Structure 1
Amino acid sequence: MSNIENDPAEQTVCSADTAVAAEPDVELLHPRDVPLGGPRAMRVRRALPNRGRRMVGAWCFADSYGPSDIAGQPGMQVPPHPHIGLQTVTWLVEGEVRHQDSVGSRRLVRPGDLSLMTSGHGIAHSEQSPPDHSSRLYGAQLWVALPERSRQISPAFEFHSSLPRHELREGAITVLAGEVDGAISPATTYTPLVGASLEISAGGRLDVVLEPEFEHAILALSPGLTVEGVAIPVGAMLYLGRGRGEVGLNAEVASRALLLGGEPFTEDLVMWWNFVGRSHEDIVDARAAWERERDSDLTDRRFGPVHGYDGLTLPAPTLPNARLKAKGRYHSRP
């Protein structure tokens, strides 16, 4: 998933505040509405980075969308764009998205499939609803920040069509990353973290085992969800802090959510557009490389061409007139 805003916010250094005990135990993070591909394109709900909080563990970006009726419409159409310093995670509830990238990967992602792309030093990819797509599109796209020791690794792509799953009386838990109650995902991770898809039966309560050393959050994908007595609107995220061994989710109707968590990230990050770096210079260098390489015949490339995509690439936005400056892991509150 790309952040294709023409004027991405300058926020964008996340400072690693390790005083987690001082953070609020429960905090509701409301999403903002973002057009994906321009004002006439599909829209997504962006819960991270948030005005109040930038990260949950190493999870640093969280978009959810749908269920949207895309019958007779192009659906998701994101041209080739670059990434550095992160992993992208695609998870669908309904519909299909075709992933193509500059390391030669070409996959049609369907509900229940995990698409995991590791950008490392640099990769480019596109995401499109196929021409014969289903009438509805519904899912989430997430980013995981890579730690310093791993952020310059070679780019790679993983596709997992079979993931560990707990079938419970009140719902189900599918483990996307990390471990939940003994079930371990095959997805490659570079920091201690967890990601899981949660399904809750109508009128039911789903109890999920947590790692107390992690901070956690619940991202609501559908209405009628209540966690710790807090109703979570669709697309919003409830931050849960650390120290919990379990969390309960109550659903008025059949509901879906994502559990995201991990050890609090201990490094400062600069996030701008589709790049996760450590300094203003990291971002400047990556942007310059993309603008030099895209739609060109250069053979020496940092990002490389997206194989199988017929069309132009996505241009990088203009950098702000000031240096990207460090800001806290979360904004101070009164």
Structure 2
Amino acid sequence: MSNLDTRPRPTTCGGREDVSAAPVRDLLTGRVVPLGESTEVRRLLPNLGRRMVGAWCFVDHYGPDDIADEPGMQVPPHPHIGLQTVSWLHEGEVLHRDSLGSLRTVRPRELGLMTSGRAIAHSEESPREHARLLHGAQLWVALPEAQRHREPSFEHHADLPLVTGGQGGLQATVFMGGLDTAVSPGSAFTPLIGADLALTEGTEVRLPLERDFEYAVLAMAGRIDVDGVPVEPGSMLYLGCGRAELPLRADSEGSVMLLGGEPFEERLVMWWNFVARSGEEIARAREEWNTGTAFGAVHGYDGDRLLAPELPATPLRPRGRER
């Protein structure tokens, strides 16, 4: 999925100066951003004061939206470098096309994972015949230096491992990394976790965590208390590091997404749909996309590709200091 801002703000990410070594409870609210022709998203990352959680560098939550009489999601072909996109649905379907020739419909609780590597382009759209509701999240994972120039790829995994708890009241679908004894088949290039946690009403459970990871919880549906903090759908609770377990209590049937990983130490520059290490690299990728000299073509999308906007006047530089 794309960042469709026509005036995207450059974001400097990475480093460990803003990583809490001890548990915290910082509640983040999303910024409403239009996506395509008829979809709005709540952008949780990057957020004021919080740019990454582990290698997770971009989080959008959307829906539930009634699209019975609407085209639904319509994101034209656009490019990516230096990241992985993770498509995750609770309701609806998204048709993925990319410059590798991939054509796949991603459905609820299936993993659509695209690794851009050095360069890829893709589009995402609701199929012509689609479900009434659309609800999900789109996330990016920053690739480390050793992997960010790799060949691009696309994976689709419909069969994902589960973790249960709370006497059956918790069912966790592990879509990236590992949780407890379950490991996702999705390719991951840094230590991280992405899991969808569904809880029945009245469930209380303590989820095992890694002390060296930083974590956040994105609320998807219902009312869930996370370490004593009620988290409403479309908001995200940043939890810091130093936790061996996470208390969860469901006041109603609901679901949250657990995101985490080792703090990402490398300095990054993120602008529009590119994750890089310098402004010069961003400028080069933008020029190559707009002139059609790289990234390849996405075939089958009914519409024009999305051109990159103008770069900001100020130089794009990674900043930060070691914790």
Query: What's the TM-score bracket when you normalise by the shorter of the two chains?
Result: over 0.9
Note if contact 2:206-2:245 (Cα within 8 Å) is conserved in structure 1.
yes
> In the alignment, which residue of structure 1 is the partner of 2:5?
5
Decide which of 113, 133, 137 is 1:136's aligned counterpart: 133
Q: Could you tell me which residue of structure 2 aligns to residue 223 of structure 1?
A: 222
* 2:299 is the counterpart of 1:307: yes
Q: In structure 1, how many angstroms separate the alpha carbons of the residues matched to 2:250 and 2:281?
A: 44
Partner Cα distance (2:313, 2:95) in 1: 36
Task: Determine if contact 1:18/1:264 at 8 Å carries over to the other structure.
Answer: no
In structure 1, the residue matched to 2:245 is: 246
Q: Distance in 2 between matches of 1:51 and 1:19?
A: 12
The residue type equivalent to 2:36 in the other structure is G
The answer to whether the 8 Å contact 1:271/1:277 transfers is yes
Q: State which of 99, 102, 112 in structure 1 corresponds to 2:99.
A: 102
Shift of 1:146: 0.2
Aligned with 1:161 (options 158, 162, 169) = 158
Aligned position for 2:27: 28
**1:293-319 superposed Cα distances (whole Å, 9 cap, x missing partner):** 1xxxxxxx4200012223200111111
Give the aligned residue type for 2:140: W
Distance, in Å, in 1 between the alignment partners of 2:127 and 2:59 is: 23
Structure 1 residue 123 corresponds to structure 2 residue 97:
no
Q: Secondary structure at the match of 2:308?
A: coil
Within 1, Cα distance between the matches of 2:89 and 2:294? 30
- Whether 1:63 aligns to 2:55 is no
Equivalent pair of 2:22/2:241 in contact (CA under 8 Å): no
- Number of residue equivalences: 320
Secondary structure at the aligned position of 1:111 is classed as: coil
2:48 partner letter:
R
Give the aligned partner of residue 147 of structure 1: 144
**C-alpha displacement at 1:326, in angstroms?**
3.2
Specify the code of the residue in structure 2 equivalent to 1:7.
R
List aligned pairs for 1:158-237, cutoff 5 A.
158-168=155-165, 169-237=168-236
In the TM superposition, residue 327 of structure 1 has moved relative to its aligned partner by 4.1
When residues 185 and 103 of structure 1 are mapped into structure 2, their CA distance, relative to the original with a 3 A threshold, is same
Instruction: Answer with 314-323 or 116-125: which moved more.
Output: 314-323
Amino acid at match of 1:260: L
C-alpha contact (below 8 Å) 1:18/1:266 kept by paired residues = no
Cα distance in 1, alignment partners of residues 91 and 138 from structure 2: 13
Residue matched to 1:86: 83
Q: 1:36 to 1:19 in 2, by over 3 A?
A: closer
SS in structure 1 of the partner of residue 282 of structure 2: helix
Runs of 4+ in 1 over 4 A off after TM superposition: 21-24
In 2, are the aligned partners of 1:213 and 1:263 still within 8 Å (CA)? yes
Distance 1:226 1:97, change over 3 A: same
Contact kept? 1:163, 1:175, Cα under 8 Å: yes
Please give the secondary structure, in 2, of the residue aligned with 1:26: strand
Q: Deviations over 1:76-99 (max 9, x none)?
A: 000000000000000111100000
Q: Report the equivalent of 1:51.
A: 48
Indicate the SS of the match to 1:289. Answer: helix
| Residue 42 to residue 249, structure 1, CA distance change in 2 (3 Å) | same
Pick closer, same or farther for the CA change 1:23–1:269 going to 2, 3 Å.
farther
Match of 1:111 among 108, 112, 116: 108
Amino acid at match of 2:300: G
Structure 1 CA distance, aligned partners of 2:22 and 2:6? 32
Give the distance between the partners of 1:112 and 1:21, measured in 2 at CA.
31
Give, in whole Å, the separation in 2 of the partners of 1:327 and 1:233: 33
Gaps of at least 5 residues in structure 2 are none
- Counterpart of 1:278? 277
Mapped to 1, the partners of 2:193 and 2:245 lie a distance apart of: 14
Residue 316 of structure 1 aligns with which residue? 308
TM-score normalised by structure 2 residue count: 0.95
Gaps of 5+ in 1: 294-300, 330-334
Q: Is the 8 A contact 1:200 1:249 kept in 2?
A: no
**Cα distance per residue 1:208-247 (max 9 Å; x no partner):** 2111111111000123121111121221111111111111
Is 1:76 matched up with 2:64? no
Q: 1:166 to 1:148 in 2, by over 3 A?
A: same
Q: RMSD of the alignment, in Å?
A: 1.6
- Contact 2:198 2:256 survives alignment (8 Å): yes
Q: Give % identity.
A: 55
